[in-house]
């Protein structure tokens, strides 16, 4: 599992991810110097460390290296979230608390992601409550009922229900 990048590592990787092309230490240095005073050798050391940690690959280009990201910022963020979630002794409660912290924009991004990852059949929604439990037991798989509304609205409602439940939830002691 990845460990969170340090402040300077993140600043360097942000540029590598944003530019999405092979970059040199000099290019990163010049961009960083717009925000702070920093030495070439410091940037070179950070990029070498990122290479050794597997975040970037490098190719020789004359007397310098060109560095390229091994994965995307999205993959990095997802790995960090997965690591944090997997350390919880109550993953469901952790998700509910996380959903409660989300902004409206983040909830919309979650809805979009859920539509891509777990698409529901156009004419079906998962039932809830006792009916779902009985149907699942009967066929040993989740049951579905015809939907009276578009799938997008059903997904939106499910996300909102989780957020509303999280809004009223208090953090558990010791977490």
Handedness of CA 1, 53, 72, 13 (dihedral sign): positive
Please tell me the pTM assigned to this model: 0.60
Residues with Cβ < 8 Å from 4, sequence gap 6 or more? 80
**Can you give the pLDDT at residue 135?**
44
Q: How far apart are CA 15 and CA 12, in angstroms?
A: 5
Handedness of CA 91, 93, 97, 100 (dihedral sign): positive
**Can you give the pLDDT at residue 39?**
97
Calculate the alpha carbon distances from 44 to 1, 8, 76, 148 in Å: 25, 12, 22, 59
**Can you give the pLDDT at residue 133?**
52
Helices 73-86 and 7-19, packing angle to 10 deg: 140
Residue 162 or residue 88, greater confidence: 88
Q: How many CB atoms lie within 10 A of CB 43?
A: 23
Q: Per-residue pLDDT for 5 more than 90?
A: yes
Which of 19-28, 112-121, 147-156, 161-170 is predicted most confidently? 19-28
Mean pLDDT rounded to a whole number for the chain: 78
Q: Exposed, middle or buried: residue 131 (CB in 10 Å: 0-12, 13-18, 19+)?
A: exposed
Q: How do residues 31-87 score in pLDDT, each as one tens digit? A: 999 999 999 999 999 999 999 999 999 999 999 999 999 999 999 998 888 888 888
Cα end-to-end span (Å), the chain:
21
């Amino acid at each position: 599992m990845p460990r969170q990048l340090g402040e300077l590592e993140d600043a360097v990787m942000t540029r590598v991810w944003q530019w999405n092309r092979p970059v040199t230490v000099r290019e990163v240095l010049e961009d960083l110097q717009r925000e702070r005073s920093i030495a070439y050798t410091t940037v070179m050391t950070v990029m070498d460390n990122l290479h050794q940690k597997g975040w970037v690959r490098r190719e020789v280009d004359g007397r310098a290296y060109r560095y390229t990201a091994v994965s995307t910022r999205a993959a990095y963020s997802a790995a960090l979230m997965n690591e944090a979630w997997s350390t919880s002794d109550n993953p469901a409660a952790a998700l509910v608390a996380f959903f409660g912290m989300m902004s409206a924009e983040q909830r919309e991004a979650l809805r979009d992601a859920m539509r891509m990852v777990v698409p529901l059949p156009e004419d079906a929604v998962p039932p809830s409550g006792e009916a779902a439990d009985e149907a699942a037991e009967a066929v040993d798989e989740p049951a579905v009922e015809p939907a009276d509304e578009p799938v997008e609205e059903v997904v939106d409602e499910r996300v909102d229900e989780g957020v509303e439940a999280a809004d009223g939830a208090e953090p558990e002691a010791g977490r």
